[in-house]
């Protein structure tokens, strides 16, 4: 069990229409610690009927919530932000227990997640419209923006707090109401957010959490129910495509934050120490389980050996173990499926000639732990060039020219994040404009912040989260033509 200061933050019921509820069937499913497999809690295993009730509750709550002024909603959201930050340690412990990331990373995610609530509480007050010069002397043209309505959100396990607040904060600030299905591996962080939302005064029905091990059934209700006007999804590209198809039947607006295959390019004019520091942060954060992790490290031939040696020195200093253990940098992967994928990709690369410089196998700390790994002598025909690794594995590819690096970097159906290290200003502009990605880290390995637009192109998604752009996805534009004015 997790020892919390505020025991009420560990909730084992779903949250619908302001009430803590079990499944109609009475069924529940286990939430386990990926570090040791121990059960943390049982949560309700809900289905379509409960999801429908949550959607209907959100619909009933919508008129009063959207009728509040932006400032009234902002005051409530600000209170939620303050309660989350006051509970940061407990929320971090819950997250490390159910997701595995080191406690320091979990604390960081809680603050990152809360920053979206802080940011959008203010942005909700700046959802401006337009007065447009009229096309007729007897007419006046106005444009207003209104909340899109009931929002359904489906979120992943790798950031079980921030991927929820990154959607719910702009939605609620704009006057929408929301129903969330969190990842089945990590529902406790979501339920703790609901407990704090209730304490903050977010009215019943405005924010609902449906827990389930049957994502297909709950998602099927979310994507087909006509009351839902918007689906916001964060997860794999494959599931994103499926949900997008399912939303077509009722022409729902969709926002998709999907998979990545980030290139991390080190040019011969890079500051190699800075590049190594950036690669460590980008590649190994959350044991490599982030959508913006460096997935392919591309190093110019003349600096390849020097970079590889420096990176290896840094990786050797990493510590694998439980996220609660002091000094641990790399926790467990989320489950057997996740670690089996990493194992498959490494073994396939080795079978085609890759050399394991460091790591390359499961760690003795437990069945879900994988050694931080560096592979050299890798090539484009290996599956890890095209597939998202989602583990602590850094394949170092070699290139000769700038054009070759850009071609390799863009040789993927993904387009979320890309990184490169260089100091020549002409190169920085040429490469920045040539890379086909939604986010660039230039001499920087950590790029995520609430003030900037986060999102991808190609098969990495649709829409942006965070920044002044993030609220647009939760509003509809209405054009008003006032006639009869003489």
Ligand X SMILES: O=C[C@H](O)CS(=O)(=O)O
Ligand Y SMILES: NC(=O)c1ccc[n+]([C@@H]2O[C@H](COP(=O)([O-])OP(=O)(O)OC[C@H]3O[C@@H](n4cnc5c(N)ncnc54)[C@H](O)[C@@H]3O)[C@@H](O)[C@H]2O)c1
- State which of residues 291, 349, 405, 431 lies at the interface with ligand X (CB under 6 A): 291
Q: Which is nearer to ligand Y, 187 or 360 (CB)?
A: 187
- CB of 341: closest distance to ligand Y in angstroms? 10
205 binds, among ligand Y, ligand X, none (CB under 5 to 8 A by kind): none
Give the per-residue SS3 of the chain.
Answer: CCCCCCHHHCCCCEEECCEEECCCCCCEEEEECCCCCCEEEEEECCCHHHHHHHHHHHHHHHHHHHHCCHHHHHHHHHHHHHHHHHCHHHHHHHHHHHHCCCHHHHHHHHHHHHHHHHHHHHHHHHCCCEEECCCCCCCEEEEEEEECCEEEEECCCCCCCHHHHHHHHHHHHHCCEEEEECCCCCHHHHHHHHHHHHHHCCCCCCEEECCCCCHHHHHHHHHHCCCEEEEEEECCHHHHHHHHHHHHHHCCEEEEECCCCEEEEECCCCCHHHHHHHHHHHHHHHHHCCCCCEEEEEEEHHHHHHHHHHHHHHHHCCCECCCCCCCCCECCCCCHHHHHHHHHHHHHHHHCCCEEEECCCECCCCCCCECCEEEECCCCCCHHHHCCCCCCEEEEEEECCHHHHHHHHHCCCCCCEEEEECCCHHHHHHHHHHCCCCEEEECCCCCCCCCCCECCCHHHEECCECCCCCCHHHEEEEEEEECCCC
- State which of residues 183, 288, 372, 466 lies at the interface with ligand Y (CB under 6 A): 183
Q: What is the distance between the alpha carbons of residues 167 and 153, in angstroms, rounded to a whole number?
A: 7
Contact status, residue 393 vs residue 415, Cβ threshold 8 Å:
no
- State which of residues 46, 154, 298, 315 lies at the interface with ligand Y (CB under 6 A): 154
> Is 388 an interacting residue with respect to ligand Y (CB under 6 A)?
yes
22 binds, among ligand X, ligand Y, none (CB under 5 to 8 A by kind): none
Tokens of 302: 């003349």
The pattern of x and - marking residues 410 through 449 that bind ligand Y according to CB under 6 A reads ------x---------------------------------
User: By C-alpha distance, which of 395, 418, 391 is closest to 288?
Assistant: 391
239 binds, among ligand Y, ligand X, none (CB under 5 to 8 A by kind): ligand Y
> Is 259 an interacting residue with respect to ligand Y (CB under 6 A)?
yes
Q: What is the distance between the alpha carbons of residues 320 and 323, in angstroms, rounded to a whole number?
A: 9
- CB of 448: closest distance to ligand X in angstroms? 3
> Is 169 an interacting residue with respect to ligand Y (CB under 6 A)?
no
> Is 158 an interacting residue with respect to ligand X (CB under 6 A)?
yes
448 binds, among ligand X, ligand Y, none (CB under 5 to 8 A by kind): ligand X
Q: Which stretch binds ligand Y (CB under 6 A): 24-32, 71-79, 156-164, 355-363?
A: 156-164
> Is 221 an interacting residue with respect to ligand Y (CB under 6 A)?
no
> Is 155 an interacting residue with respect to ligand X (CB under 6 A)?
no
Q: What are phi and psi of 365, to 5 degrees?
A: -65, -20
Q: Quick check: is 343 catalytic?
A: no
> Is 373 an interacting residue with respect to ligand Y (CB under 6 A)?
no
Binding to ligand Y (CB under 6 A) within 449-478 occurs at 461
- State which of residues 113, 260, 392, 466 lies at the interface with ligand Y (CB under 6 A): 260
Total site size for ligand Y, rule CB under 6 A: 27
Q: What is the distance between the alpha carbons of residues 314 and 321, in angstroms, rounded to a whole number?
A: 17
Binding to ligand X (CB under 6 A) within 242-261 occurs at none
> Is 177 an interacting residue with respect to ligand X (CB under 6 A)?
no
- CB of 236: closest distance to ligand Y in angstroms? 3
The pattern of x and - marking residues 434 through 463 that bind ligand X according to CB under 6 A reads --------------x-----x---------
Of 118, 257, 371, 459, the catalytic one is: 257
The pattern of x and - marking residues 81 through 120 that bind ligand X according to CB under 6 A reads ----------------------------------------
Residues facing 376 on adjacent strands = 355
Tokens of 477: 């534009």
- CB of 158: closest distance to ligand X in angstroms? 5
Closest residue to ligand Y, judged by C-beta, is: 219
Q: What is the distance between the alpha carbons of residues 45 and 49, in angstroms, rounded to a whole number?
A: 12
Q: Which stretch binds ligand X (CB under 6 A): 11-19, 121-129, 286-294, 474-482?
A: 286-294
Closest residue to ligand X, judged by C-beta, is: 448
Residues facing 150 on adjacent strands = 177, 228
Q: Which is nearer to ligand Y, 223 or 373 (CB)?
A: 223
- State which of residues 225, 255, 282, 290 lies at the interface with ligand X (CB under 6 A): 290
Q: What is the distance between the alpha carbons of residues 175 and 156, in angstroms, rounded to a whole number?
A: 24
- State which of residues 80, 119, 157, 159 lies at the interface with ligand X (CB under 6 A): 159
- CB of 337: closest distance to ligand Y in angstroms? 8
> Is 152 an interacting residue with respect to ligand Y (CB under 6 A)?
no
Residues forming the site for ligand Y (CB under 6 A): 154-159, 163, 181, 183-184, 215-216, 219, 234-236, 239, 242-243, 257-260, 291, 388, 416, 461
Residues forming the site for ligand X (CB under 6 A): 158-159, 162, 290-292, 448, 454
**Residues designated as active site:** 257
């Amino acid at each position: 069990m997790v020892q919390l200061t505020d025991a009420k933050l560990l909730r084992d019921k779903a949250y619908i229409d302001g009430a803590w509820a079990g499944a109609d069937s009475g069924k529940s499913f286990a939430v386990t610690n990926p570090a040791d497999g121990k059960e943390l809690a049982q949560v309700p295993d809900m289905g379509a009927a409960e999801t429908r009730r949550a959607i209907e509750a959100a619909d009933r709550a919508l008129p009063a919530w959207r009728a509040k002024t932006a400032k009234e909603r902002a005051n409530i959201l600000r209170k939620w932000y303050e309660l989350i930050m006051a509970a940061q340690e407990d929320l971090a412990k819950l997250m490390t227990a159910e997701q595995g990331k080191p406690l320091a990373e979990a604390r960081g995610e809680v603050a990152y997640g809360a920053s979206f609530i802080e940011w959008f509480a203010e942005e909700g007050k700046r959802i401006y419209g337009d007065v447009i010069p009229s096309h007729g002397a007897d007419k006046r043209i106005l444009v207003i923006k209104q909340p899109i309505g009931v929002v359904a959100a489906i979120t992943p396990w790798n950031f079980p707090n921030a991927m929820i607040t990154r959607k719910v904060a702009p939605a609620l600030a704009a006057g929408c109401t929301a129903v969330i299905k969190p990842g089945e591996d990590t529902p406790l962080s979501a339920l703790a957010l609901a407990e704090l939302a209730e304490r903050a005064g977010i009215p019943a029905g405005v924010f609902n959490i449906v827990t389930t091990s049957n994502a297909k059934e709950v998602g099927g209700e979310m994507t087909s129910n006509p009351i839902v006007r918007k689906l916001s999804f964060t997860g794999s590209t494959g599931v994103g495509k499926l949900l997008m198809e399912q939303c077509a039947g009722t022409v729902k607006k969709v926002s998709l934050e999907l998979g990545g295959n980030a290139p991390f390019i080190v040019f011969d004019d890079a500051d190699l120490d800075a590049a190594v520091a950036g690669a460590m942060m980008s590649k190994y954060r959350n044991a490599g389980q982030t959508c913006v992790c460096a997935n392919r490290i591309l190093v110019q031939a003349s600096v390849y050996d020097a970079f590889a040696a420096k990176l290896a020195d840094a990786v050797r200093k990493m510590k694998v173990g439980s996220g609660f253990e002091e000094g641990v940098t790399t926790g467990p992967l989320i489950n057997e499926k996740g670690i089996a994928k990493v194992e498959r990709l490494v073994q396939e690369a080795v079978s085609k000639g890759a050399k394991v410089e460091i790591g390359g196998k499961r760690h003795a700390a437990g069945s879900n732990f994988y050694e931080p790994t560096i592979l050299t002598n890798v090539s484009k025909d290996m599956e890890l060039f095209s597939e998202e690794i989602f583990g602590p594995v850094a394949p170092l590819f070699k290139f000769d020219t700038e054009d070759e690096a850009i071609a390799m970097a863009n040789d993927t159906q993904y387009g979320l994040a890309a990184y490169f290290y260089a100091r020549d200003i002409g190169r920085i502009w040429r490469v920045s404009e040539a890379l086909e990605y939604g986010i660039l880290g230039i001499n920087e390995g950590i790029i995520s912040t609430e003030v900037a637009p986060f999102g991808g192109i190609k098969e990495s998604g649709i829409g942006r989260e965070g920044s002044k752009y993030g609220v647009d996805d939760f509003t509809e534009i209405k054009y008003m033509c006032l006639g009869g004015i003489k």
